[in-house]
Structure 1
Amino acid sequence: MKILFHLKFVLLLTVLFSFCSCREVNKENNGGEEPVAPEAGDVTIYITTNTRSQDFKKQATSFSSKSNMSPTTIKLDPAKRYQTMDGFGAAVTGSTCYNLMQMTTENRDKFLKETFSPTEGMGQSYIRIAIGCSDFSLSEYTCCDTPGIENFALTSEETEYVIPILKEILTINPDVKIMGSPWTSPRWMKVNNLTDLQPFNSWTSGQLNPAYYADYASYFVKWIQVFEQQGIKIYSVTPQNEPLNRGNSASLFMGWQEQLEFVKNHLVPQFKEASLSTKIYLFDHNFNYDNMADQNDYPVKIYDAGIDANVVAGAAYHNYGGNKSELLDIHEKHPERELVFTETSIGTWNDGRNLEVRLIDDMREVALGTVNNWCKGVIVWNLMLDSDRGPNREGGCQTCYGAVDIDRNSYTNITRNSHYYIIGHLSSVVKPGAVRIGTSGFSDAGFYFSAFENTDGTYAVVLLNSNSAAKLITLDDGTNHFSYEVPAKSVISYRWKK
């Protein structure tokens, strides 16, 4: 009997040890998480770790039936309401469209659905395109290179690449918003400065000749109308990409006084006359105004001078200089005006393909950093570049990576970089029309987050854990609560029905 009992005891220990070992293996293969059925539960979750051990992994969890006593609780406060969100996305440049068109139809459709579909993918919802060329185009051009506004016409880059890709995107997600920004006016509209007013036949630098302000406003109207004739509605425009940057391969200097005159007395009246609903966002440049003292508070100076608030919705910003705190300063000076974030880049200079670094920094500074400072849209630079960082233009950025990079040898293999994940973590759970809401409670160092209420009655939270240790976080909306362990150095997005 003793021998039999001993054998049974050894067998029991063996079974227990095997069970525990299997659980540890499963836990390790899931990045430290217990395996969870991805579709089962009250809360949909997406997780990306900076090591890609979880690569935008879809998970789920359920509400807890127990009382919430957790000291690490983020409590939602829907009564405290901030900005209404327009969406999140990337720039669909000529280079992006060219690369997408090199893919097979099947592979391109798969990628675009993964990116833009609100039901089958990330649901990215706001994109930016160039009015004419950018430094990521196949050539330098505008839509009116022959003098005379009557010569306005689309070019082959629009008709063969940009418009076909936009139509494919809109078929997948008809609600995608599109912003247009020019890098330069037609060269025949340029002068060397506003004193000499000498012709300036260059793609780079120069200023807009006041004699052509009306023609250039007509250029915008014609561009919007011709896209709408193609079934592509233009939601918003900026008068000039980086108006304080004279050095881009295609560029135009436009100080705040010039922009005031052009927008107030020409662009706005022509938009109204053409019955366009397209919004105008001023500035579209860096937080630090390129250290030009007379250009500080660029959009504020225009607001203060008096400009139509129904057409000029607000201002757009980039982060190539200065600090995101400038957004809060501008909001406080004119809280009735909107803010959008329209460009940021990764490249060889900031370890752009190193997700271990970039996922954390870009989520903190770009995604959550701009949203928590009142931006209602977040758009990063090129959606897709090739493995040689192109196609690009001489004199423009030749060291930039895309949100994704595609191997130009086969146009099949795609590397997803930080910008793709940070936009996806927002767009997957925060839908257009959502309102950012307040939170209280948990606020440990290294954690950054934002909460939202969607129009369909769901809540969304996007959270960054930049620390080297995982932590069990509880979310509580006042009716339901749940807990989930947030992995070290990860981004996690949650969405659930009230």
Structure 2
Amino acid sequence: MKHVKISSLLILITTLMACTTETDNTLKVEVFETSASGNNLTPVNTVSQAAATEQITLYPEKELQTITGFGGAFTESSAYLLNRLSKKNRDTIIQAYFSKEGANYSLTRTHMNSCDFSLSQYSYSPVEDDMELEHFSVKEDKDDLIPMIKDAMAASEDGFKLFASPWTASPWMKDNNEWVGGKLLPKYYDTWALFFSKYVDAYKAEGIDIWGFTVENEPHGNGNNWESMHYTPDEMTNFVQNHLGPKLEADGHGDKIILGYDQNRAGLKEWVDSMYATEETSKYFDGTAIHWYESTFEVFPEELQYAHNKAPNKLLIETEGCVDSEVPAWKDDLWYWSKEATDWGWDWAAEEEKYLHPKYAPVNRYARDIIGCLNNWVDGWVDWNMVLDKQGGPNWFKNWCAAPVIVDPDADEVYFTPLFYTMAHFSKYIRPGAKVIALDQPKDKKFIITAAKNPDGSIAVVVFNEEPVARDFTLTLQEKTITLHIEGQALQTIMIPSS
């Protein structure tokens, strides 16, 4: 009997050695998928023996930009809704966004003073001609916004960066004395710079560190619909170079990041030309902020490449994007995969520009744009509201939008839409400090891919198959390969462990 056991053991060892030899060149991966067929960041086994239609080679030795992070925005609307939910559901949402087990958001935004996704219009400096801002107070944020941020901080093991954006200064600082439109009066430039510094101090007193700022949300304005304040490129450069930058530096806040512009990509060139014209104009700008609303279909790669080449050592961060001009679908996953959603340009765009604003699936918008951005030097991508209600608000202007998480506060119900899982495909697996790496791009523009090498050596590959037809593709890293299958209308994150 002993002889039989030894023989069996030898056979087993020989078999295992043979298997090991056969798989030495097989790339080891874990695959997570979100799909129109029902997967939501689901671990899947997609190894295929079929002939691959695409051959994708990764080049980790060719490192591109360094990732700053991925995440969303803390708005008064989102924070107010969380306060209306049960503690259980509030905690569920916070954990889903910020814990390691969840999306693990690493880069976030909030608003200074009110914005359209506030319950009303307000300012931290309401007293007219208070040049030294002696009456400055963030009390408006203490009921909803600050508690949401602090709960997120408690849930985040890795921590996250938070930057703030003003939609407008107080009306008394502006040439039209209105919340909407108008320009900052030059005599208040120093007062407005002081506002940023006082904001850092006020939030620090609440236990919240501000990483940085965008100078102005949408300096072109927003059609004079809600809070806004206009700058030309040179006006913003002047304000940063001669007022905001020096003031933050003088007050001990010189480490705070300053991002210029903060609007749509089609207008990017004239802004970076002004910001980065000389060493003096560039000094206080740490990077450029962009939005996606010029078209939620087109990535604008030429503009992104131009901005990078103009200032290759500066940050380039997408600071706001959402499916706007829409009441979000409630507990209907397929709507988010269907070409039924419009954007604001659908209604107002000139006839020759309507092609930039087609009816287009919300998941497609997010997946295509994030991948396209990463493949064109963008190092951070921030969604807009984290939580909205079934109407797409609350919003004092009734500017309804979708969000990754939709809630019904009256019924205390929560709906994690496919957009939540789409964001998590990037935020959870591509971590701050990761390096985007070069790869062979597929020939089919409806099949797109990006990859980044994390600080721990793991590589995250994100693949999006927009078309309804499934396909097989071969992934090669150095001498190892694997052929994988992806269903139609599916997003996959493929994790390759460090060697």
Provide TM-score, normalisation by structure 1: 0.82
**Tell me, what secondary structure is at the counterpart of 1:316?**
strand
CA positional deviation for 1:152 = 4.2
Aligned to 2:436: 436
CA positional deviation for 1:171 = 1.0
2:293 and 2:85 map into 1 onto residues whose CA distance is 32
CA positional deviation for 1:360 = 4.7
1:49–1:132 CA distance, 2 compared to 1 (3 A): same
CA positional deviation for 1:217 = 0.5
Aligned to 1:361: 364
1:49 and 1:449 map into 2 onto residues whose CA distance is 16
**Tell me, what secondary structure is at the counterpart of 1:58?**
strand
**Tell me, what secondary structure is at the counterpart of 1:473?**
strand
Amino acid at match of 2:207: G
Aligned to 2:258: 280
2:412 and 2:160 map into 1 onto residues whose CA distance is 25
Instruction: Determine whether 1:207 maps to 2:183.
Output: yes
**Tell me, what secondary structure is at the counterpart of 1:280?**
strand
CA-based RMSD of the aligned residues comes to: 2.5
Q: Any runs of at least 4 consecutive aligned residues in structure 1 with deviations exceeding 6 A, and if so which?
A: 350-353
Q: Deviations over 1:116-174 (max 9, x none)?
A: 112x1121211110011110012111111113133343344311111111111111115
Aligned to 1:11: none
2:221 and 2:173 map into 1 onto residues whose CA distance is 18
Q: Deviations over 1:378-419 (max 9, x none)?
A: 01211111112211012xx5221222211132232324153x
**Tell me, what secondary structure is at the counterpart of 2:105?**
coil
Aligned to 2:148: 165
Amino acid at match of 2:402: Y
Q: How many residues align?
A: 437
2:87 and 2:134 map into 1 onto residues whose CA distance is 34
2:329 and 2:411 map into 1 onto residues whose CA distance is 22
Q: Deviations over 1:406-451 (max 9, x none)?
A: 1132232324153x23321111210111000011275444210101
**Tell me, what secondary structure is at the counterpart of 2:274?**
helix
1:43–1:231 CA distance, 2 compared to 1 (3 A): farther
Amino acid at match of 2:189: Y
1:480–1:111 CA distance, 2 compared to 1 (3 A): farther
Aligned to 1:400: 401
Amino acid at match of 1:430: I
1:303 and 1:445 map into 2 onto residues whose CA distance is 33
Instruction: Determine whether 1:224 maps to 2:208.
Output: no
Aligned to 1:487: 487
Instruction: Determine whether 1:468 maps to 2:468.
Output: yes
2:95 and 2:64 map into 1 onto residues whose CA distance is 30
Match of 2:324 among 347, 350, 360: 347
**Tell me, what secondary structure is at the counterpart of 2:312?**
coil
Aligned to 1:36: none
1:440 and 1:365 map into 2 onto residues whose CA distance is 17
1:388 and 1:350 map into 2 onto residues whose CA distance is 5
Aligned to 1:3: none
Is contact 1:360-1:490 (8 Å) kept?
no
Aligned to 1:55: 40
1:350 and 1:491 map into 2 onto residues whose CA distance is 24
Amino acid at match of 2:103: M
Aligned to 1:177: 161
**Tell me, what secondary structure is at the counterpart of 1:347?**
coil
1:206 and 1:386 map into 2 onto residues whose CA distance is 31
Q: How does 1:305-316 map to 2 (within 5 A)?
A: 305-307=278-280, 309=282, 311-316=284-289
CA positional deviation for 1:349 = 5.0
Match of 2:386 among 383, 388, 394: 383
Instruction: Determine whether 1:46 maps to 2:32.
Output: yes
Aligned to 1:24: none
Aligned to 1:258: 235
1:226 and 1:42 map into 2 onto residues whose CA distance is 49
Aligned to 1:197: none
Provide TM-score, normalisation by structure 2: 0.82
Match of 1:303 among 256, 267, 276: 276
Deviates more, 1:476-485 or 1:369-378: 476-485
Is contact 1:344-1:380 (8 Å) kept?
yes
Is contact 1:152-1:219 (8 Å) kept?
no
Is contact 2:70-2:426 (8 Å) kept?
yes
Instruction: Determine whether 1:333 maps to 2:310.
Output: yes
Amino acid at match of 1:266: H
Aligned to 1:318: 291
Unpaired runs of at least 5, structure 2:
1-26, 339-360
**Tell me, what secondary structure is at the counterpart of 2:133?**
helix
Amino acid at match of 1:320: Y
Is contact 1:179-1:235 (8 Å) kept?
yes
Aligned to 1:29: none
Is contact 1:217-1:267 (8 Å) kept?
yes
Is contact 1:364-1:448 (8 Å) kept?
no
Amino acid at match of 1:161: D
1:171–1:274 CA distance, 2 compared to 1 (3 A): same
Is contact 1:346-1:352 (8 Å) kept?
no
Aligned to 1:12: none
Q: How does 1:84-163 map to 2 (within 5 A)?
A: 84-118=66-100, 120-147=101-128, 148=130, 149-163=132-146
Amino acid at match of 2:384: W
1:389–1:270 CA distance, 2 compared to 1 (3 A): same
CA positional deviation for 1:348 = 4.4
1:479–1:123 CA distance, 2 compared to 1 (3 A): farther
1:310 and 1:183 map into 2 onto residues whose CA distance is 24
Amino acid at match of 2:86: T
CA positional deviation for 1:77 = 0.2
2:429 and 2:318 map into 1 onto residues whose CA distance is 19
Amino acid at match of 1:104: S
Amino acid at match of 1:370: C
1:189 and 1:387 map into 2 onto residues whose CA distance is 36
1:308–1:59 CA distance, 2 compared to 1 (3 A): farther
CA positional deviation for 1:472 = 2.3
Deviates more, 1:473-482 or 1:434-443: 473-482
2:439 and 2:326 map into 1 onto residues whose CA distance is 36
2:471 and 2:415 map into 1 onto residues whose CA distance is 32
